[in-house]
Amino acid sequence: MKEIQTDRVVIVGAGLGALYAALKLAPRPVLMISPEVLGEGASSAWAQGGVAAAMDAKDDPKNHAADTVKAGAGTVDPEVADLVTRHARDYILDLTRMGAPFDRTDDGGYVLSREAAHSFARVVRVKGDQAGAEIMKALIEQVRETPSIQVLEGTMAVDLDVTDGTVTGIAIQDSDTNRSQPIMLRGAAYLLAGGGSGGLYALTTNPPRIRGQVIGMAARAGAMITDAEFVQFHPTAMDVGEDPAPLATEALRGEGAILINKNGERFMQAVHPDAELAPRDVVARAIFSQTQAGLRPMLDTRAALGEDVKTQFPAVAEACARNGIDPAVDPIPVAAAAHYHMGGIATDTHGRASLTGLWVCGEASSTGLHGANRLASNGLLEALVYARICAEGIILEVADTSTAAPQPLDVTFDAGGNAPNPAAVMALRETMTTLVGVVREEAGLKQALRKIDALENTNADSPSFMNMCATATLIAACALLRQESRGAHERSDYPETLAGEGRRSEILLTDALALRAQIAKDAA
C-alpha cells in the first residue's frame, strides 16, 4: 500500500465537529478527509432544529442538564451533561462571531424554540429550519480562508492502522468510485468526526454516505464501543418515498403542529401528558404503531402555521412542494426513521478513544451525553463542545513538528480496489429497518445477525462494506443482549425497564462477532 507521511493532524469527516475542530487547531496544520464537497453529504448540514443552549434569562444550564439526564432514560453520565450544557451559551456566541446568522428578535436577542422534552424554549435556530446548513456555511467560509487547513474532497477513510494499541495511520480511498487502491496516511494525530449510522437503515433521514463506516472502522481496529443499541428514530420523517426521507423538524410541533391519523384523530394526547412534545422515543413508537395499524400518521401544520409554514420553514416547504403537498392545506404524511446514533466509539471527557492517539467527536462518538434517548438539538451542541475539547487535547499532547508554512499534500489514487455491492448495501439496510428497527425482539435480532453474517461473508472484498457490517453487527448484538426496554431501545419481548440505575453497554467487535458466529452456527 502506498504511504504518505505528514506532520498534519488528520481529521476524518467534514461536518460541524470536523470543521470546528480544524479551526480550533489553527495554526496547527490539519488535513480533513471529506467524502463530498464541503457542505454536502454531512449530517450537520441537514440538521433542521438548531443548537440547544440555555439563552433565556429565566433558563439555566442546570435545567438543560437535568432535561438531558431525564430524556436519556437512566444512562446519561451526569458529569458529561454538566460539562456540555454549562458553556453552551459560549458556543452560540462563538458561532455568532464566526458568522452564523441565528434568528434574532427585534431587541437583538436570540429566537428560541421549544422542542420535545425541553422544559424551556432553548433551541437557537437559523431561518426556521436552516440551522445546520447555515452554521456549516459560516464555518466552511472560515475553513477555506485558513491556510493551515487542507481539505481532501472526494476522499473517504476505510481503515485504521494500529500498532500495540496505538493508531499509526488511516487508510483512505477515492469516495467517488470506492475503487481506488487505498493510501495509508501517517499523520501527527487522528480525529474521527465522520458521522453516525442512520443510513444503515432503509428508512432514514441521514445523508446517503452516513452508514456507520467510521464507527465500524474504529471497531475493526479494536476500539471499545458503547451504547451501540441506542438508535434514535425521528418521529416525523416525511413518508413520501424519498431515500433519504426529508425531515419535518420537531420545531413544527414546538410551534403547535399536531399529529393526526388518516381518520383525523389526534392520537398523542392519549399516549403522553406532553402529547406531541413527548420525548422522541415515545412519539416515534406512537407513529410506528399508527403505521403498523394502517392508520397513516400525518403532521398537521394547518391551524398552527397556515401559509406561514412556507416562509418560516423553507426546507419543509421545499420538500412538500417537491412531493405535491401544500402544508397549508394538506397534512404531511410521516413515519419514524433512523435519525441519530446515541452509541458509538467510547470516548472519555477529553475526547480520547480506547486506542492511543485517537480522538473522536460528533455522532461517531459515545460520550455519555445522550444515554438511551438524545434530547432534541443536543447533537450539534455535543459536536461543538467535544470538537474544541479534542483540539485542545491534541495541542497539549502531540508535539507540533510542522514547518511554518506546510505544503499541501499531493494525493493521487491508483486504480483498483472494490466498491460496496449496491445490492448488498440495500439488503443490509432493509435487514436493519425490518429486524433492528423501532420495535425489536429476540427472534428478529438473531435473524438480523445471521443475515449480516451472510452478507459480510459474501462481500468481504470491500473495506467500506465491512465497516458497515461491523456497525450493524454491534447494534444488533447489543440490542439482543439488552433484555429490557429503555429509551429508544424497545423490546416487545422485554417491554419493562429494569429496576435500579441504568447500565451503559460496552462491547468490542470481537465479542459481537463471536455472538454472531454462534447464532449462525446454531441455525446451521
pLDDT score for 179: 73
CA torsion 346-348-349-352 (nearest 10°) is -90
Model confidence pLDDT, tens digit, residues 90-105: 999 999 999 999 999 9
The reply to whether 422-523 shares the fold of 236-336 is no
Q: Tell me the C-alpha distance between 142 and 136, whole Å.
A: 10
Q: Tell me the C-alpha distance between 214 and 197, whole Å.
A: 9
Domain 422-523: state its class.
mainly alpha
Residue with cell 488511516: 170
Sequence spans of domains, the chain: 236-336, 422-523
Residue 113's nearest CA partner among 130, 97, 98, 93 is 130
Residue with cell 438524545: 374
Model confidence pLDDT, tens digit, residues 29-70: 999 999 888 877 677 767 777 899 999 999 999 999 999 999
- Decide if 192 contacts 360 (C-beta within 8 A): yes
Catalytic residue (one of 114, 122, 253, 280): 280
What is the arithmetic mean of pLDDT over 75-97?
A: 96
pLDDT score for 7: 93
Element (H, E) at 381: helix 378-397
Dump the DSSP string for 27-42. TS-EEEEESSSTTSS-
- Decide if 181 contacts 411 (C-beta within 8 A): no
- Using omega within 30 degrees of 0 as the cis cutoff, is the peptide bond preceding 244 cis? yes
pLDDT score for 41: 67
3-state class of 208 per DSSP?
Answer: coil
Nine cell digits for residue 237: 420523517
Report the b/e string of 377-394 with b at 16+ CB within 10 A. Answer: bbbbbbbbbbbbbbbebb
Task: Answer yes or no: is pLDDT of 493 > 70.
Answer: yes
Q: Where are the beta strands (DSSP E) in 39-117?
A: 51-52, 112-113
pLDDT score for 178: 66
pLDDT score for 506: 98
- Proportion of the chain above pLDDT 70, given as a percent: 99
Nine cell digits for residue 477: 448484538
CATH of domain 236-336: 3.90.700.10
Task: Answer yes or no: is pLDDT of 474 > 90.
Answer: yes
What is the arithmetic mean of pLDDT over 17-28?
A: 96
pLDDT score for 133: 86
Model confidence pLDDT, tens digit, residues 394-425: 999 998 887 777 789 999 998 887 889 999 99
Q: Tell me the C-alpha distance between 486 and 71, whole Å.
A: 11
Query: Active-site residue 253, yes or no?
Result: no
What is the arithmetic mean of pLDDT over 376-404?
A: 92
Residue 13's nearest CA partner among 214, 217, 215 is 214
Q: Which residue has the higher pLDDT, 517 or 134?
A: 517
pLDDT score for 131: 82
